[in-house]
Structure 1
Amino acid sequence: MQSWITVILMYAAIFAVFYFLFIRPQKKKENALKEMRNNLNVGDKVTTIGGIIANVAKVEEDSVVLEIGPNRTKVPFEKWAIGTVESKTEQA
């Protein structure tokens, strides 16, 4: 009986270590990315997950329209494709 309790406690300890080292930080990162993508504004400079640097021209529910290049070509992207926001527009 004592050995079963030890085994159960070891599995619980291993699960706790994995949760605090891997699962919890990943969920925090996903929530931060989701919040960042939901707070996009027109004029923000963003980088897509493919490495394209552009300015946000229009924000829709599930997508954004980005201005790319010197000709300011407008290209639609899904919000999940936005990797980082380089700079926010100045809020007055």
Structure 2
Amino acid sequence: MKIALSLLLFAPAEPGAGRGLVIFLFQMAAILAIFYFLLIRPKVQQEKRHRERLQQLKRGDEIVTVGGIVGEVVHIRDDRITVRSGETRLVVQRDRIAEIRSPKGEAEEAKS
């Protein structure tokens, strides 16, 4: 009995039995490629553009923090930025800036 089971384990596979594995691997590779190009790559590019804009931040730029505070950049110091919002001055970490809007003068020039 044991010999018969051993022979079944070492029996040659049917021709074409390995094709299922190749097709499965191809489908998984295609799904991963689609996932990368539709979800991961655009997010990485967006984060890169945001980091570049944070490095180019200057006085007078209007920003929006992740907390929703809108203000104008007054002073820049390493990783901290002083923002004026109304009559209040706030110190915000550079990485807590969600959006950078152009100053009023540049926005008007861009429209015309």
Cα-to-partner distance string for 1:21-72 (whole Å, 9 max, x where unaligned) = 1000110111111111111101111111211111101112212111121x2x
Root-mean-square deviation over aligned CA pairs = 1.6
2:63 to 7, 21, 46: 46
Gaps of 5+ in 2: 1-17, 107-112
1:62 equivalent in alignment to 2:111: no
Deviates more, 1:36-45 or 1:12-21: 36-45
Number of paired residues?
89
Counterpart CA distance in 2 for 1:22 and 1:6 is 24
State the shift of 1:88 in Å: 3.5
TM-score when scaled to structure 1? 0.86
Counterpart CA distance in 2 for 1:61 and 1:88 is 21
1:75 equivalent in alignment to 2:90: yes
Percent identity over the alignment is 29
Higher fraction of strand: 1
The structure with higher relative contact order (CA 8 Å, sep 6+) is 1
Gaps of 5+ in 1: none
Moved over 6 A (4+): none
Higher fraction of helix: 2
